[in-house]
Structure formats: C-alpha cells, structure tokens
Structure 1
C-alpha cells in the first residue's frame, strides 16, 4: 500500500478538477444595475422627446410662414385698400367675374369673358401639364380646358362648362396716361382683392401697359378695368426697382388690343 504524502493526487480527482463543468450562473447575464437601467431609459425618452419637438417646430414654422403671407404688411395694406373700395360700383360689378386659378403649385387669377365660360389668364399661370382648376367667387369649382395660348404675350384662353356666368366686357380702346383703372385679383394667398391706380406713361419698344397699382404674386392674370367697367389689359408682372435709383415698382399688363390681334377667337367670343 502506497502512502499518500500529498504529492500525488488520485487520477479520478485530477480528471474531476480538469473537466468539471462551470456552474449555471456563469451562463447568465449579469443583472443590470437599476441605476444604469434608469439612465438608459431616460436617454431614450430624451431622444424621442427631442425628435417630437423638432417635428413640432417644423410644422409650426410652416403654419407661421402661411400666416405671415396672410398678415404681413403688404397683405394688410392690400386688404385695407380693397375694403375702402367695397362700395365702388365698378368693383362690385366686376368682382363676381374674377376667378382663382390653380394649376399644380401655381396659383393665380383669371376672369370670365363670356356667359358660357371662356376665361382669360396668363400663360405662365397654367403652363404646367396638370389639370387646371377654376374657383368662382360663389364657391363653384370647375376643371378647365386649355383652348389656346400665346407664350410671347403670356396669355391663355380657357374654357369651363358653365352657364349664365357673370363676365367682363373687353375693350380695345387705347388707354391714356392718368386714366383711372382698377385691378382685381388674388394676391398673397388672399382672394377678390381690389385696388385703384392710374395708367402711366408708355415706353417705346414695349407693347405693355404700365400701371401704378400695387402688384404682387397671385395677381398674374388679373383684369385691368377702366372707369367704364371694361377690361383694357391683363396683368402679368411688375418691375423690380434697382439699387442705383429710387424708382418704385410698376405693374405691367398686356393691352387687350394686342391680345385681340393674336387670339382670333376673342372677337367672336366677346360679341
């Protein structure tokens, strides 16, 4: 019998030491510290809250941008001037024939020129390929057909399927400097805004009417109406003053005489 002096280890004991399986707890994740768990939860909540706040600010910015367009100084001045003209006979007789035109993102003005639904406007108001929607002051809406266009004059003739519509009479008489005129349109996201001005001096080489009326985005396609209640031109733009002089912005309109010369259907339609 061999004496066990501690230097030798039983073979079975060696194998047990070398191949003993680890305890089950070694395969389990260490339980997360409650403080770390709370910090992680607060971090996620902060991220979600921040994203929500940023989205809210984006929406608010868009809303404020629209309201700014509606209530900026120019808009307020236009509305005040229009309200002062609310009792004017020519304005009252003409407003029902002035329409809002939408073509994709484009928004402008047009006016009915016949009881059966022919409408004049600017070509650039309806030059997108999508459908053209026409909204009348009485709340009726129509999809319009493009009848003809003249890109050089920037005018377009539309047609809606209406009956007994209020309309404006066209005039080819030449306007004189200082003649009183009215413009009715849909500027700066507003509708049925009227203002009063005068004809200005002509410039050689330009087949346009220069008018003192304030003109803004949305006025494109508005009628220029004389004191007889007849349309003498179609608004299409305004000048931009340069920094090197003190000139003011001037409204520009296509004279009806030029439009009659280029769009043959008008003579028959306006009879």
Structure 2
C-alpha cells in the first residue's frame, strides 16, 4: 500500500561499501526539455557541493530479526508494520532483547562557517556518536546542539572554521513548477545530485501541525534526509525529510521542510538549544460549510474551539463554540493554520485573538503560555472530516436521555449530561451529517439539552437553515453542523 514515510535510516554500512562509493557523483534530469542555460546546473553543483556533508550517526538498537524469524512470516499483513516499527522479540517470554550498535547515514549542510550544520532530527535521534564527512573525505566529530522533533530538524556543530556554507532562500517565494536540485547521500553514495521541479507547496502530510511541506519530484531516497533542496540561485529553499512511496524508494514524490521554517527553528536551536512555542490551550476542529452556516459565517473559515484546557491561557477568555478567525493580526483561514501562528508567537506575550461569538466578531486579548510536549494535543486540529447533527423524527434519530444505565453502559463520566443517539435512519439528516449511534448531544445551537424534548424545542426555535450541535464522542467534544432541510 502506498504510504508517506519519514526517510528511514539505511541499514548499517560497511567499510567496503563506503570506500567503493566515496566521491561518486550522479545526476538525474527528469525534465529533459527544460530550457536551462548550458552549464548552469553543473556550475551550481560545483559551487554548493563542498557545503553538503554526510552524517554518520551511531545508535544502539535492537538486533534485527530476519523475515523468516517473524512470528507472522513474510507476506503477512504485519510484515510492513514490523519493518517500520521494529520486530518482536524472537526469544522466550521475559528474555532480554539483544542489542547491537550500528551506524546510519544521512545528509546535512553547513549553515555557518564556524561549524554549525543543519540536518534532520531523525538522522541524529538517540545517537551515541555523530560524525560529519565532507566531500574531500575529511571527518569531524560533531556535537548535537539541539533537535526539534516537531519539524524533524536538528542543529549540530563541529570544531572547524572558515567552512563553505549555504544560505537560506525565501521558501514563500517559490512557485509550483520552478526548478530545484537536491544534493545528498542516498544509500551511502556521497555527493549525489538529482534535479526536478517543485510539484506542490503547503503540503499537509500529517507529520505534525507546524510544517507545510514543499513537494518535489527530484529523486529523494534513503540517506537524503537532512540534505538541501536548492533553487537555481544556489539557495536552500528546503531540507529533504520524507518521501511518499509504495516500496521505500523514490517514485518522484518527496517532501522538504521549507527554508522559512528552518530559519525560525535553527535560530532558536542556535541560541537556546530548544524551540520554545506559544501555547493557547484549546482543542480545535475545522469549520465545514454546514458549521459555517450554523454559526453565521459567510464561508467555511477559521478554527472552531471544541474544548478549552483547564488552567490554560485561554481558560477565562475563550469559550467552547468560538470560531477563531484571526490571531495577532493574521487571518486564520483554516484550523490547520492556527497552531503554526500560535507556536510562532513568543511565550508570555499578550496577543489579540479575533473570534466569532454569538453571531458577531470581537477581539479578545490574552497572554500566551509556553508549550510543553505534553500539551501538543491541545494545539492539534481535530478531525476535519464531515461533521453533523441529531434530533427527533425530524432528524431521523432515536434519542434518549442519559440514564444511569446508559451512563454505565457507555462508561460516561459524571460530568457528561445530554441526549444519547440510540438508533439512526440511514437516510435521515443526522446520518447524512455523520452522527453515530452512541454520540451524546450536549448542546443545540448554544442551548444545553438534557432530554429529547430539549432537542426538539431548540430546533423549533432555530432561525437558521442549519443547526450547530455540540456532541461528545469517545470522550472527545466535537461540533457538528446539520442542515435542517
């Protein structure tokens, strides 16, 4: 099955392979018809390649088990799972897992002449030793200055001066279709150059809320991780990080962290060794067309507050049901944008949040907190899948008050009161909107409901063509917009 994956580390290499491949240069030009000034790419490669390095990271890992030793065998549905997440212990229950030390290869580039080098977090993650090799075969031991798993970036440093460097370009200026070049160390083949175009920008590949990736068809493979994606000016406009592949090799769909994200993250790693992000303290979800109509928005935009975290900066200012349409002067077009805007703001500063509340927009001021790793879920957008509502015969749903028996059966906490959906007409409005049996209706268009009659009354009083339901599903509060005709 085709999948997207963070570029994995290659298997531990041997000295023979390293010696055989050292200094090999390869080029790939998928755009044979591209009109480029003769010698331009070659000149660019000659100029930039001295600043591109190979990263050799030593990690302690569990001993690998061959497919023949896997409990479920090769070809089973679990084979790919074990390849990606590790193999089960083949010994007896309780026996220790054998461990070995191996060296993995990645790529990086020098960003400051006094030894600072950018690479991927997953290249140096949990490494006991990191070494850097230049194109002239010189090697240096490196110190990990800091890592940021949320963007898959890392900054390391070697003890050297007057190194060749690469400068960061403006990734926001890059357009789909522009030529790019990737330089790196795929499969241990140092100094490999591939060429392609920018296939897409602002790609969401479900790799976290803080990066919209650049997509490219320049060949990116295992070992390219951390290497630069260059424009034809020789500027770094991305750091190669992930591929989308059915077989682990390049199929022309690669992803790079944009240089503007790199500049922000590396600057913080350089100064403090960590990345500090602002924290708002809300769980959010996307605004669908139905929700927009239900709350009075002219179009589907903004981020809907589904939950406010206790003891958070938002607790006394934002409310469940607010639609955040602006943050600190920047518009919030979708729920995907809000976490990046909040994270980029400095902790402990006052910010203005524009919200739609009770049908009118207003600006609120609050002081941001500091995001800890445990609080990431509170900034991550909720599901943007199609959402919807519930009610009585009008909605094609059978409703029941939350009785003690229902509470016990559904394992509901004592603070959840509402109306439970016990059955659905598959062609009714509730089912069409995406509601499920077992959903608990908490509110209808801002009105708390405790009985089926409360739901009917709230719908009768509705002056809009859609109703906004707040529900509880599997312990998570969600808003659902339901068209009423």
Which position in structure 1 is the counterpart of 2:45? 91
Which position in structure 1 is the counterpart of 2:253? 250
Write the deviation string for residues 56-92 of structure 1: whole angstroms up to 9, x where unpaired. Answer: xxxxxx99x969x97xxxxx9x83538x989711111
Which position in structure 2 is the counterpart of 1:183? 182
Match of 1:152 among 137, 150, 153: 150
Report if the CA contact (8 A) 2:168-2:263 is conserved: no
Closer, same or farther in 2 for the Cα pair 1:204/1:169, shift >3 Å?
closer
Match of 1:213 among 214, 218, 234: 218
Moved over 6 A (4+): 84-87
Q: Give the Å deviation of 1:248.
A: 4.3
Closer, same or farther in 2 for the Cα pair 1:80/1:223, shift >3 Å?
closer
Instruction: Output the CA distance in 2 between the equivalents of 1:208 and 1:130.
Output: 29
Unmatched 5+ stretches in structure 1: 1-61, 71-75
Q: Mapping of 1:45-56 within 5 angstroms?
A: none
Match of 2:57 among 74, 78, 103: 103
RMSD: 3.1
Which position in structure 1 is the counterpart of 2:228? 223
Q: Mapping of 1:120-139 within 5 angstroms?
A: 120-139=118-137
Which position in structure 2 is the counterpart of 1:238? 243
Higher deviation after alignment, 205-214 or 147-156:
205-214
Instruction: Output the CA distance in 1 between the equivalents of 2:251 and 2:136.
Output: 36
Report if the CA contact (8 A) 2:27-2:193 is conserved: no
Report if the CA contact (8 A) 2:146-2:269 is conserved: no
Instruction: Output the CA distance in 1 between the equivalents of 2:109 and 2:122.
Output: 15
Instruction: Output the CA distance in 1 between the equivalents of 2:176 and 2:157.
Output: 33
Match of 1:165 among 163, 166, 173: 163
Instruction: Output the CA distance in 2 between the equivalents of 1:205 and 1:223.
Output: 20
Which position in structure 1 is the counterpart of 2:198? 199
- Specify the structure having the higher radius of gyration (Cα): 1
Instruction: Output the CA distance in 2 between the equivalents of 1:133 and 1:241.
Output: 31
Q: Give the Å deviation of 1:208.
A: 0.5
Report if the CA contact (8 A) 1:85-1:91 is conserved: no
Which position in structure 2 is the counterpart of 1:29? none
Write the deviation string for residues 107-130 of structure 1: whole angstroms up to 9, x where unpaired. Answer: 111100111111000011111331
Q: Does 1:262 pair with 2:265?
A: yes
Instruction: Please identify which structure carries the higher strand content.
Output: 2
Instruction: Output the CA distance in 2 between the equivalents of 1:184 and 1:128.
Output: 25
2:28 match: secondary structure:
helix
Report if the CA contact (8 A) 1:115-1:163 is conserved: yes
Instruction: Output the CA distance in 2 between the equivalents of 1:260 and 1:116.
Output: 17
Report if the CA contact (8 A) 1:86-1:92 is conserved: no
Instruction: Please identify which structure carries the higher helix content.
Output: 1
Report if the CA contact (8 A) 1:113-1:167 is conserved: yes
1:81 match: secondary structure:
coil
Which position in structure 1 is the counterpart of 2:67? none
1:200 match: secondary structure:
strand
Q: Does 1:79 pair with 2:26?
A: yes
Which position in structure 1 is the counterpart of 2:61? none
Write the deviation string for residues 41-69 of structure 1: whole angstroms up to 9, x where unpaired. Answer: xxxxxxxxxxxxxxxxxxxxx99x969x9
